[in-house]
Amino acid sequence: MRWTYVLTRLLQIIPTLILAAVLVFTLVRLLPGDPASAILGDRATPEIVERTRRELGLDQPLPVQFARFVGRLLQGDFGISTSLKVPVLRLIAERLPVTLFLTLYAAVLGALLAVPLAVLAAVRRNTWVDAVIRAVFQVGLSLPVFYIALQLLTLLGARLGWFPIGGYGDTFAEHLYYLFLPALTLGFNLAAVLMRTLRASIIEVLTAEYVDFARAKGLRSRVIMTRHVLRNAMISTVTLLGLNIGALIGGAVITETVFAIPGVGRLMVDAIFGRDYPVIQGLTLMFAVIVSLVFLLTDLIHARLDPRAQHA
Amino acid sequence: MNRFTRLTLALGAALTLGSSLAVTRGGTMVYGRYADSLFLDPVLNDANLDIWILTNLYDTLLQPSPDGKSVKPGLASRYVVSPNGRAMTLTLRPGIKFANGSPITAQDVKWSLDRARNPNNGAWNGSLASITSITAQGNTVVLNLKSPDPTLPAALATFNAAIMPQKLFNAAPGKNDAEKAKAFAEKPIGSGPFVLSEWKRGSSMVLKRNPYYWQKGEDGKALPYLDAVRFEIIPDDNTRILKLQAGELQGAEFIPLSRVSELKANPKINMQLFPSTQVNFITMNNRPKLKNGSANPLSDVRVRQALNYATNKDALIQVVTYGTGKPMRSFMSSTTPLFTAQQGYPYDVNKARQLLQAAGFGNGFEVSCLATSGSANDLALLTALQQMWGQVGVRLKIEQVDAATKTARYRENDFQMRTAGWTNDINDPSQITSYFAIYENVESLHTGFKNAEVEKLFAQSQSETSRVKRAGQYRRIQDIYMKASPIVFLYETPYPVALAKNVRGFVQIPLGNNIFTATSLEK
């Protein structure tokens, strides 16, 4: 793999971030209602609202506010949350690992569900096995995340008592245990998406000439499946998985609320309702970085699986 | 039955009775909150999320009584008002300490109250505005007043008048009061029954028992009974209930009213409806013209009265509050001191039609109401009102916006109607009255209501030391307000809290404060 390729792709992230910063700065200010009145609620007198606006620097013209925001950003300062009154970076540092853990966990569970079932469905295509697997995932695609979450909680959490209802735990093992149901919720949805593509690609690859050739060579079907079919069928699936990480983080917002997980998804929702500009801005930039990096990683894996991609 | 058996039985009964009377000490109560606190400074805090927890960490000179109607001694064992009403002398309890063991001095009290009444500090300083100066000596504190202030005892029992350790606060890093408050609030030390020991924002907060707390329990030893209270933040209503049912929580707040009867029937759960000061109503823009310049039918008092008559409160209480509410009989809740029940507007469609006819709206009109998007209560309420008002020809348009937008539009008087709720922060009718009926404060909840007699009576009531006379002033204010009906009077609702069966002695007082001081977990 060429390092210049990686470096170029890394540098390409910078304009994305600048654009994201400008966009989010303008967009949140287009929303009616400002942090001062959102924090103070209905009761505050106009004088108190005015004083708070001054303290938060919201009385300054927008270009001045933007210059201050960028100036601080360049020094690595994301500002202080207007509602929680703590530095945004600290909030992100506390919450981000939780969401990343959940997202990765969901991706792993999703892949663990999707790959074997896709293979099974493809190999047994148009039989009842295929039909059942596809039907289950079709349901998974059409049910809203919060509904699946609540059903899992009620059955496996409350009724059977196998899993805790909500929370995050303190140790790695506890995280795995506490986050199992939410990760399964998100993973199931993801698996439904992945399964369809993977099944289709496997079927396509299975009919390719090189597979016939491998079979003619007398290779065992397990070897054909892992070495030839899956490797080629995975290319599109990896891309899809990468594209879906963004969606996973989005899905985490709902999952984190239902399962009471203190991640960035919930932080973002609270920040938007509270018009907490510094938090919204900080989180958006962070999401932009993560999504860019995931796309980069996806491209790299893609390139690894299919060397032609590097030169494209 | 022989004598021996009888004796054993009697002994057994006596023992069981005895053990059921003793309070269990120790244990951690896990309590599910719907959202986390934001900022734990008594003076600079912003919301109920803080206020309702602060009293566990910081103590005040006086305390609100559990029924919300009066005050009782706190850090001060007694207070005396001078004959001319211009001074209040408070005596501190002997030997009281902060949670780190350092003594609470009269100087701490003076400094705390001076900070709380500083007009540049926070939104709550108005409650102590009558104080002109404070002198501290030995164990007494004297508050010198501009004029007699009947609200002062209640103000001293309110969260913002909490007593803080001056030296510790000043030792916190930061250039000014606001910065020091930020640092101090991360690890606050007060003299309340509990002290903050751990806070994972958005996830959990642990309050440990304050070993230096002054108040004694039933067993003669220091309160609180619990070793700790652990708050877990669980925003989703269903999840909070599931967690309680699974035994992972011993208490859960803000149970949706739709689930109350189901939980009442659950033998493992003690479903409580604590009386609150919460009133639910619809504010109306009373001005002749709306922000966009169009004419506003709601400026006619007959139209506002008609809408009140056309509102079937009992039906709404069934539909929206599942039978847990009761009709508002004044703008203030029946738990507010000096509340006087008014006749109000019994459901009467004919009267409503006559009033509309007289006001020139015999054919009805269209009116729009701002609602909080995502609020099931708002939607249930307004759809029911659509039908009720439809019978008298009033076509209600529902405009759903998020809370911040709603507040912003409201502040600019850019609304015709809006769903609203209110809870008191102080054990006195003056706060709610100044917001609802006094134009200068927030344009009477932005309704634009203004009444010279109300303003005069209110001003008088603020320095009226005779409780009887003051009650008379408030009776008149409530009467005038009801007749002018700047709002649509709906219903009062309680605080629904679900507890595990073994929880004893937990109260949420009408002001909303969660009191864990005498809470225990029985075995």
List pLDDT tens digits, range B414-458.
999 999 999 999 999 999 999 999 999 899 999 999 999 999 999
CB contact under 8 A, A165 and B405: no
How many A/B residue pairs have CB atoms within 8 Å? 118
Closest CA to B230 of B214, B252, B245, B254: B252
How close A176 comes to chain B (CA, Å)? 17
Residue A297 touches chain B, beta carbons under 8 Å: no
Is the distance from CB of B290 to CB of B523 less than 8 angstroms? Answer: no
How close B95 comes to chain A (CA, Å)? 35
| Chain A residue with Cα closest to B441 | A45
The pLDDT of residue B19 is above 70? no
The pLDDT of residue B249 is above 90? yes
What pLDDT does A238 receive?
Answer: 80
On chain A, the residues whose CB falls within 8 A of the CB of B410 are: 42
The pLDDT of residue B18 is above 50? no
Closest CA to B308 of B289, B288, B281, B334: B281
Residue A101 touches chain B, beta carbons under 8 Å: no
List pLDDT tens digits, range B260-304.
999 999 999 999 999 999 999 999 999 999 999 999 999 999 999
CB contact under 8 A, A33 and B242: no
The pLDDT of residue B11 is above 60? no
CB contact under 8 A, B442 and A45: yes
A 119-158 near B (Cβ less than 8 A): 150, 153-154, 157-158
> Which of B33, B200, B201, B370 to mutate to probe the A interface, most A CBs <10 Å?
B201
- At A161 the three-state DSSP class reads coil
On chain A, the residues whose CB falls within 8 A of the CB of B423 are: none
- Left (φ > 0), alpha (ψ -120 to 50) or beta: where does B141 sit? beta
Peptide bond just before A262 cis, omega within 30 deg: no
What pLDDT does B21 receive?
Answer: 61
State phi, psi for B252 to the nearest 5 degrees.
Answer: -145, 130
| Chain B residue with Cα closest to A149 | B239
Of B185, B202, B410, the CB nearest to A95: B202
CA–CA gap between residue A283 and residue A198 (Å, rounded): 33
- What the block records as the tokens of A256 is 């984190």
Residue A84 touches chain B, beta carbons under 8 Å: yes
Residue A115 touches chain B, beta carbons under 8 Å: no
Is the distance from CB of B510 to CB of B286 less than 8 angstroms? Answer: no
- At A51 the three-state DSSP class reads helix
CA–CA gap between residue B253 and residue B240 (Å, rounded): 8
Residue A306 touches chain B, beta carbons under 8 Å: no
Report CA-CA distances (Å) from A165 to A42, A187, A253, A270, B232.
35, 18, 17, 21, 12
What pLDDT does A282 receive?
Answer: 92
Is the distance from CB of B324 to CB of B257 less than 8 angstroms? Answer: yes
On chain B, the residues whose CB falls within 8 A of the CB of A164 are: 248
The pLDDT of residue A118 is above 50? yes
CA–CA gap between residue B489 and residue B310 (Å, rounded): 11
| Chain B residue with Cα closest to A83 | B38
How close A168 comes to chain B (CA, Å)? 8
What pLDDT does A131 receive?
Answer: 92
The DSSP-derived string for B293-349 is S-B-GGGSHHHHHHHHHT--HHHHHHHHHTT--EE-SSSS-TTSTT----------H
Is the distance from CB of B92 to CB of B104 less than 8 angstroms? Answer: yes
What pLDDT does B244 receive?
Answer: 94
| Chain B residue with Cα closest to A275 | B404
Mean pLDDT, rounded, for B35-56? 90
A 227-286 near B (Cβ less than 8 A): 257-260, 262, 266-267, 270, 273-275
On chain B, the residues whose CB falls within 8 A of the CB of A262 are: 200-203, 233
CA–CA gap between residue A88 and residue A93 (Å, rounded): 9
Mean pLDDT of chain B: 93
Q: What share of chain A is helix, strand, coil (3-state, %, to 5)?
A: 80, 0, 20
On chain B, the residues whose CB falls within 8 A of the CB of A42 are: 407, 410, 420, 442, 445
pLDDT band at A310 (very low <50, low <70, confident <90, very high): low
State phi, psi for B367 to the nearest 5 degrees.
Answer: -140, 145
- At B353 the three-state DSSP class reads helix
Residues of B in CB contact (< 8 Å) with A are 35, 38-39, 46-47, 120, 123, 178, 182, 185-186, 200-203, 232-236, 238-239, 242-243, 245-246, 248, 401-411, 420, 435, 441-442, 445
Report CA-CA distances (Å) from A308 to A41, A300, A302.
58, 12, 9
List pLDDT tens digits, range B143-199.
999 999 999 999 999 999 999 999 999 999 999 998 999 999 999 999 999 999 999
Residue A203 touches chain B, beta carbons under 8 Å: no
Mean pLDDT, rounded, for B327-342? 96
pLDDT band at A13 (very low <50, low <70, confident <90, very high): confident
Q: How many CB atoms lie within 10 A of CB B101?
A: 10
The pLDDT of residue A190 is above 50? yes
Where is pLDDT greater, at B522 or A215? B522
Which class for A246: exposed (0-12), middle (13-18), buried (19 or more C-beta within 10 A)?
A: middle
On chain B, the residues whose CB falls within 8 A of the CB of A275 are: 404
Q: What is the pTM of this model?
A: 0.89
List pLDDT tens digits, range B376-409.
899 999 999 999 999 999 999 999 999 889 998 9
CA–CA gap between residue A224 and residue B161 (Å, rounded): 77
CA B154 to chain centre: 13
Report CA-CA distances (Å) from B259 to A151, B252, B323, B508.
18, 13, 11, 19
Where is pLDDT greater, at B17 or A53? A53
State phi, psi for B484 to the nearest 5 degrees.
Answer: -75, -20
How close A255 comes to chain B (CA, Å)? 10
| H or E segment and range at residue B131 | strand B131-137
- The residues, ordered by sequence, that sit 6+ positions from B442 with a Cβ below 8 Å of its Cβ are A42, A43, A44, A45, A46, B435
- The residues, ordered by sequence, that sit 6+ positions from B509 with a Cβ below 8 Å of its Cβ are B64, B65, B66, B67, B68, B274, B515
| Chain A residue with Cα closest to B124 | A44
Residue A218 touches chain B, beta carbons under 8 Å: no
Q: How many CB atoms lie within 10 A of CB B113?
A: 24
List pLDDT tens digits, range B203-220.
999 999 999 999 999 989
Residue given tokens 């059921």 in the structure block: B20
What pLDDT does A1 receive?
Answer: 57
Is the distance from CB of B86 to CB of B149 less than 8 angstroms? Answer: no
CA–CA gap between residue B459 and residue B451 (Å, rounded): 12
- Of A26-30, A142-146, B177-181, B241-245, the poorest mean pLDDT is in A142-146
pLDDT band at B15 (very low <50, low <70, confident <90, very high): very low
On chain A, the residues whose CB falls within 8 A of the CB of B185 are: 85
List pLDDT tens digits, range A242-296.
878 777 877 788 889 889 999 998 899 889 988 999 999 999 888 888 888 888 8
Q: How does DSSP classify residue B93?
A: P
The one-letter amino acid at A124:
R
The pLDDT of residue A101 is above 70? yes
